[in-house]
């Protein structure tokens, strides 16, 4: 069994309040859940209006498949107009 974890730093430049930030993140998270078989949540910078840290994970029998799923989510998020990806890190366990 292989567990893949990706932690991603995001910038939400047009956010003027926590309500704006949560609206953008909820929409993005719902879209990721609808298109990819991963668990995803906001895990850091919860009270900062324009920054967020999210994490998503995938469990599979093969390391290659896990890596492909995580990369698919990364590319999906990078194509979105909001939020902007600042950095990400992939770990395999």
Domain ranges of the chain: 2-92
pLDDT at 82: 86
52/44 Cα distance (integer angstroms): 6
On the question of pLDDT at 81 being above 90, the answer is no
Instruction: Name which residue leads in pLDDT, 37 or 7.
Output: 7
Residue 80 near residue 26 (C-beta atoms within 8 A): no
Q: In CATH, which superfamily holds the domain spanning 2-92?
A: TT1725-like (3.30.70.1120)
Average pLDDT, rounded, for the chain: 94
């Amino acid at each position: 069994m292989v567990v893949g974890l990706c932690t991603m730093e995001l910038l939400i430049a047009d956010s003027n309040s926590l309500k704006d930030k949560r609206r953008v993140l909820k929409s993005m998270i719902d879209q990721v859940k609808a298109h990819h078989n991963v668990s995803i949540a906001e895990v850091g910078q919860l009270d900062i209006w324009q920054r967020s840290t999210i994490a998503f994970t995938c469990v599979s029998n093969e390391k290659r498949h896990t890596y492909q799923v995580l990369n698919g989510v990364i590319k999906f998020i990078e194509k979105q107009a909001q939020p902007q990806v600042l950095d990400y890190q992939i770990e395999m366990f």
